[in-house]
Amino acid sequence: MNSRAKWILPIVTGVVLLGLWMLAKYTLGYLLPAHSADNPLVPLPAYLLPGPLEVVQAFMEERVILAGAAWDTLRAAAAGFIAAAGFGFAIALLLGNSLQLRTAFYPWIVFFQMVPVIVVAPIIVIWIGSGITSVALITFMISFFPVVANTTQGLLSVEANRLDLFRLYNARWWQTLLLLRVPNALPYFFTGLQIASSLAVIGALTGEIFIGSASSTGGLGFRIIVYKSQFKIPALFATAFTACLLGFAFVGIVAWLRWLALRHWHESIRRKDV
Amino acid sequence: MPIIELLDATKRYGDGPVVLESLSLKVERGEFVALLGPSGCGKSTLLRVVAGLSPLTSGAVTVAGSSPEHAREKMAFIFQEATLLPWLTVQGNVEVPLRLRHETKETREARASALLELVGLATVANYYPRQLSGGMKMRVSLARALTLSPEVILLDEPFGALDAMTRNRLNEELLRLREAQRWTALFVTHSVQEAVFLSSKIVLLGANPGRIHRVLENPLPYPRTAETRETDGFQQLSARLAAELRQTPMPTL
């Protein structure tokens, strides 16, 4: 696929989706009681489905509040995500190097991953209080597991002949770790980070919905509650799009870091057209 | 004293079938011994036993008078795949054994550069393995094996995955490298022509279980070149070995 097609195809898809959205807005009115033979084109009201222009208008009206909220969410999501990346990698190093530790702790890590955030959030508020720390902690909890699971897998997936090669050269365990296992695990680590990056913003939003935030704007999650209670559906859509953009930025940054780290040697970077 | 000695060596994986049975073999210093036999007859297992990567079930193996584990500094192993580290450049890959020995950067660079020059890859020192052909990767693997100036090199069908032309060229290159350093080689192959071209001694292995079927001295003189393959001596020995190989017990399919 040539580089022009890589840009054009997503734009075409976006235009088609926008068209479908407009179509839904102006045709689903048939389902409403207000529809009549004299007035066949009844658009859905904004509280049921706002049109793209109404969402843009709401975005412009609320831009200062949304920007502040996005900043709050970004800070909490970034803090939780960075902690998950660092701590997750460190834990994976321990698990990847010790069968005993892996056997003892890995099932529990999986178990705690299954605990719903909805249940944990109130407990975190009781322990830590409301505010950015709690939101960051929830983000951490939701982003941590993909990093640990993928990195551990990468540390353990070293080709047997390469391990034998290091054995033949009498490599110490830490040499095998640093020169062989860790570089081998990098693609896996970045796969974990990519999953975590898409979860980080969701985690922060969930945290904010349950906890709120100490700042004036209260994060995008908090805005969702406010706009819902005020029945400002176009603003709710604008908030959703802002959250999507934030998530997109997270995923984009991780993709860029992955490209930086793996661009010289990893097949997934080199063979994009497969 | 032989540099490699196997005495009544038997190898069995768990409760599975016996892979090697009562196998005794002596390899003298400077010999190039080819282990020839059908796939599945235990050639690679034998090599792993000598390298100390797989312990014997019974019997004994010594390398340079000590156990394989204690003789590792005197050995190098070349696998069927090049086993390069894809995240390192060609130069970086050749430096790996020296890095594991904590050699200084200057020493590592000088040694790796000299070896890459020797195998004709100096111009691609900064390339990554993915940028190399299969033959070039094997030459990097060869250069890496030579970094610590080993006394013994164990080669496990290193050119088995390459096309015939590249394989022949690498065989010639291998002998050229050995002329300079005279290491002892234990070379696993299932190619009769490759065994005849490279070796000073050919050990024919049979399967079910793996045993030595016959040991032949190779009378072809060194140095050997591409023209060696055209000589009557080469052709006759190859034909004789191929016939012998047909007589050896084959593994169960």
**Model pLDDT for residues B208-221, shown as the tens digit of each residue:** 788 898 999 999 99
Residue B125's SS3 state is coil
What's the CA gap between A198 and A271, in Å, rounded? Answer: 24
User: Which tens digit of pLDDT belongs to each residue from B50-81?
Assistant: 999 999 999 999 999 999 999 999 999 999 99
What's the CA gap between A50 and A29, in Å, rounded? Answer: 12
In this complex, the residue of A168, A175, A186 whose CB is nearest that of residue B72 is A168
Instruction: Provide the angle, in degrees to the nearest 10, between the axes of the packed helices A132-156 and A99-114.
Output: 140
Q: Choose among B190, B161, B166: nearest CA to B250.
A: B190
pTM for the predicted model, two decimal places: 0.88
CB B63 within 8 A of CB B71: yes
Interface test with B, best of A159, A162, A168 (most B CBs within 10 A): A168
User: Which tens digit of pLDDT belongs to each residue from A246-273?
Assistant: 999 999 999 999 999 999 988 877 654 4
* B87, closest residue in chain A (CA to CA): A265
A59 touches chain B (CB under 8 A): no
Query: Confidence class of residue B248 from pLDDT cuts 50, 70 and 90?
Result: confident
ipTM of the complex: 0.92
What's the CA gap between B190 and A92, in Å, rounded? Answer: 42
Q: Choose among B128, B177, B180, B137: nearest CA to B158.
A: B137
State whether B100 and A166 contact (CB < 8 Å).
Answer: yes
What's the CA gap between A226 and A75, in Å, rounded? Answer: 20
| DSSP 8-class letter at B220 | P
Bridge-partner residues for B28, per DSSP?
Answer: none
Residue with the larger pLDDT of the pair A273 and A179: A179
Per-residue pLDDT at A35: 58
Averaged pLDDT for residues B164-190: 92
Per-residue burial over A216-227, b if 16 or more Cβ lie within 10 Å, else e, is ebbbbbbbbebb
B124 touches chain A (CB under 8 A): no
In this complex, the residue of B83, B128, B148 whose CB is nearest that of residue A265 is B128
Residue B217's SS3 state is strand
Averaged pLDDT for residues A105-117: 87
Averaged pLDDT for residues A230-249: 95
What's the CA gap between B102 and A170, in Å, rounded? Answer: 12
| H helix or E strand, kind and range, residue A50 | none
Chain A contact set for B77 (CB, 8 A): 164-165, 168
In this complex, the residue of B79, B83, B130 whose CB is nearest that of residue A265 is B130
In percent, how much of chain B has pLDDT > 70? Answer: 99
Å between A273 CA and nearest CA of chain B: 16
In this complex, the residue of B51, B101, B128 whose CB is nearest that of residue A168 is B51
Per-residue pLDDT at A129: 82
Chain B contact set for A171 (CB, 8 A): 100
